[in-house]
A and B are shown apart, each in its own frame.
Chain A
Amino acid sequence: QPVLTQPPSASGTPGQRVTVSCSGSSSNIGTNDVYWYRQLPGTAPKLLIYRNNERPSGVPDRLSGSKSGTSASLAISGLRSEDEADYFCLVWDDSLSGYVFGTGTKVTAL
């Protein structure tokens, strides 16, 4: 049973809004900050969102993060073909005393 669960896939037509969820528990998302990464094939992950909803410089504001209770979400507005990638959430888990990545979501622009 994964600690952080994400849907395997999400899709939308160009211009649509797509959301990726990350479901956890009180020992991780319920207590600690959530981070979101994008990974293109054959490359290292890139940070998109830190501390639940903050964007590093260079990340467009059409990407946004939110957290409520033991779940978090990444929203991609105005979907573009370059958004096609794998997306992962990351959280510290107090029970495990370690970080945990979500199971990952493949986003596709139809």
Chain B
Amino acid sequence: EVQLVESGGGLVQPGGSLRLSCVASGFTFSNYWMHWVRQVPGEGLVWVSRIKSDGSRTNYADFVKGRFTISRDNAKNTLYLQMNSLRGDDTAFYYCATLRGTGDLDYWGQGILVTVSS
């Protein structure tokens, strides 16, 4: 059974940092691009970033460029999102996912809430 389990969310002050993790199981993690998608409660889905299977390529949405860094550790089957200079509008549920657009699997984690507030 494929599972993606996010952790590391919580409350952080504006300007602060947080690192999200996503542990994958049930598939060959090292073969797949991985993505982060976020969603403000009650609003739409927003793609944040992706990383190639071997970590050699990354892409980011404009609104996180220079602030967020996606990375992975294939030995630990783990995806990361380092979030710096956090702002109030970064408050959202963050999902890790394999997307059908970059492979033959489409699975999502349960999501983790990040709240940026003083």
A96 touches B62 (CB 8 A): yes
The answer to whether A39 and B45 touch (CB under 8 A), given A47-B100, A50-B100, A56-B106, is: yes
Once the chains are docked, how many angstroms separate the CA of A92 from the CA of B102? 10
Cβ of A89 to closest chain B Cβ, rounded Å: 10
Once the chains are docked, how many angstroms separate the CA of A96 from the CA of B44? 19
Partner of A50, one of B37, B47, B50, B106: B106
The closest CB in chain B to the CB of A32 belongs to B101
Cβ of B45 to closest chain A Cβ, rounded Å: 4
Once the chains are docked, how many angstroms separate the CA of A35 from the CA of B95? 17
Cβ of A4 to closest chain B Cβ, rounded Å: 10
The answer to whether A50 and B44 touch (CB under 8 A), given A44-B95, A98-B61, A99-B50, is: no
The answer to whether A45 and B47 touch (CB under 8 A), given A35-B99, A35-B101, A99-B35, is: no
B47-76 residues with Cβ-Cβ distance < 8 A to A are 47, 50, 59-62
B47 touches A101 (CB 8 A): yes
Q: Which residues of A contact B32 (CB under 8 A)?
A: none
The closest CB in chain A to the CB of B101 belongs to A35
A50 touches B101 (CB 8 A): yes
A44 touches B111 (CB 8 A): yes
Q: Which residues of A contact B101 (CB under 8 A)?
A: 33, 35, 50, 90, 92, 99
